[in-house]
Amino acid sequence: MLLNSRSIFKLGLGVLIMISIPSYIGTASYAQNNTTSKLTSPRSSNVSTSDNSTLGAASNNQDLESKLVAKNLEDTLRDGVSALELMTNNLTPMTIPPNEALLKTTLKTLHGIPPNADESKRKLAQDIISKYKIFEYIGYLTPHGDTYFVEPYSPAQTHLQTLNFAYREHFKGAIASKAPFLSNVINSVSYGTPHAAIAIPVYSQNNSGSLIGVLVGGLNFTYIDQSIRSLNLTDHDHRIILADRNGTAIFDSLLSNNHAPKVGSVATLQSFKNALQGRSGSIVEPFNGTKMLISYHPVKAVQRTWVILLLKTI
């Protein structure tokens, strides 16, 4: 789970500093493998030694902070994926084929099976949602993409505006790769808010190993928002942005909520491009007309790369 107190952050930051000291000795300032950390841009080549020293100290702190935020995001996503994978192993009710005969009679009216049908599957989904707050909902789709059920039943299933998801990238990606597959930022058809979905194929528990469904977990961006804010890293003119690979903001500390996707809001930044290439570090560059010190770090999000940016006006 993501850290949720300033004291725990300071302890983790201290450990990171102790671990990081040897890697800095004998190397260029803040440089790591495949890391860009130049603190001057072509537009700011006349920065004084004193200014560079100040920027260097700020950059060092931001680098470590961005690394810590990225690590906790990765751990949270990894835990969530592991929970979904456990749901699909051959010892759980999920690997028993869905009752498609029942589904045909209720799909159009109930957007899936009734709330009291296939209760063992529903109960397992409810337990995971209760334990792993990263999930907003968990759904089960047939191999053809029809909605079998979604938990919580209300509003996730009752408010569905689409009944078949065979067109979704994460549905097709999970079947093609036979592995967990994360979508880009998309709008939830139940909640009407931006989210991302992780899909995992489900195979029969008998020896045939045939595909019987696809399990889908919708990521709770509100939980991500609250978790990052709880680290209290936005003091002193700091801004934090988490974006998917298209530059669409998942979290932006400047906003009071993140219910409106901001497509491509950071996609043109060199810091963002560096992080997509697997690099981490700091760079000075303009953002929305203001010169900023931007520290960046990639976030391993299933098969995708997300980007965490820490920005400070200079």
How does pLDDT run across 19-58, given as a tens digit for each residue? 343 433 333 333 333 434 444 343 333 444 445 666 677 7
In 3-state terms, what secondary structure has residue 185?
coil
Per-residue pLDDT at 261 = 52
Residues 247-279 as b or e (16 or more Cβ within 10 Å = b) = bbbbbbbeeeebeebbeebbbebebbbbbbeeb
Per-residue pLDDT at 189 = 84
Name the least confident of 10-14, 155-159, 183-187, 256-260.
10-14
Distance, CA of 119 to CA of 151 (rounded, Å): 11
Name which residue leads in pLDDT, 13 or 70.
70
Mean pLDDT of 143-153: 98
Distance, CA of 240 to CA of 11 (rounded, Å): 20
User: How is 51-120 classified by DSSP, letter by letter?
Assistant: HHHHHHHHHHHHHHHHHHHHHHHHHHHHHHHHHHHHHTSTTSGGGSPP-HHHHHHHHHHHSSS-TTSSHH
Q: What percent of the chain has pLDDT over 70?
A: 78
Work out whether strand 147-151 and strand 181-182 pair parallel, antiparallel, or are unpaired.
unpaired
User: Given this chain, do its domains 6-75+236-313 and 78-222 carry the same CATH topology?
Assistant: yes
Distance, CA of 212 to CA of 204 (rounded, Å): 6
Mean pLDDT of 225-240: 83
Per-residue pLDDT at 265 = 79
pLDDT of 16 strictly over 90: no
Per-residue confidence at 254, pLDDT binned at 50, 70, 90? Answer: confident
Choose among 4, 69, 1, 63: nearest CA to 29: 63
Per-residue pLDDT at 311 = 94
Name the least confident of 22-36, 147-161, 281-295.
22-36
Asked if residues 220 and 227 have their Cβ atoms less than 8 Å apart, the reply is: no
Work out whether strand 197-203 and strand 181-182 pair parallel, antiparallel, or are unpaired.
antiparallel
Q: In Å, how far are 74, 87, 200, 241, 285 from 70, measured between CA atoms?
A: 6, 26, 23, 11, 21
Asked if residues 150 and 138 have their Cβ atoms less than 8 Å apart, the reply is: yes
Per-residue pLDDT at 100 = 96
In 3-state terms, what secondary structure has residue 272?
helix
Distance, CA of 245 to CA of 261 (rounded, Å): 13
What tokens appear for 146 in the block?
A: 């029809």
Angle at 67 between CA 230 and CA 236, to 5 degrees: 50
pLDDT of 204 strictly over 80: yes
Name which residue leads in pLDDT, 157 or 2.
157
Q: Please state which CATH number belongs to domain 6-75+236-313.
A: 3.30.450.20
Per-residue pLDDT at 190 = 83
The whole-chain average pLDDT of the chain stands at 84
Q: Which residue has the tokens 């100290």?
A: 57
Mean pLDDT of 273-279: 97
Asked if residues 147 and 163 have their Cβ atoms less than 8 Å apart, the reply is: yes
pLDDT of 148 strictly over 60: yes
Name the least confident of 48-57, 157-166, 190-199, 278-287.
48-57
The domain spans of the chain are 6-75+236-313, 78-222
End-to-end Cα, the chain, rounded Å:
33
Per-residue confidence at 104, pLDDT binned at 50, 70, 90? Answer: very high
Choose among 9, 23, 17: nearest CA to 61: 17
Per-residue pLDDT at 23 = 38
Range among 4-18, 22-36, 95-109 with highest mean pLDDT value = 95-109
Please state the pTM of the whole predicted model: 0.80
Tell me the per-residue pLDDT of 112-145, one tens digit each, with 9 for 90 and over.
999 999 999 999 999 999 999 999 999 999 999 9
Per-residue pLDDT at 257 = 62
What tokens appear for 244 in the block?
A: 């998917």
Per-residue pLDDT at 32 = 37
Per-residue pLDDT at 40 = 38
pLDDT of 260 strictly over 70: no
Asked if residues 215 and 208 have their Cβ atoms less than 8 Å apart, the reply is: no
Q: What CATH architecture does domain 78-222 belong to?
A: 2-Layer Sandwich (3.30)
Residues 162-200 as b or e (16 or more Cβ within 10 Å = b) = eeebeebebbbbbbeeeebbbbbbbebbbbebbbbbbbb
Q: In Å, how far are 2, 86, 173, 302 from 180, measured between CA atoms?
A: 21, 12, 8, 7
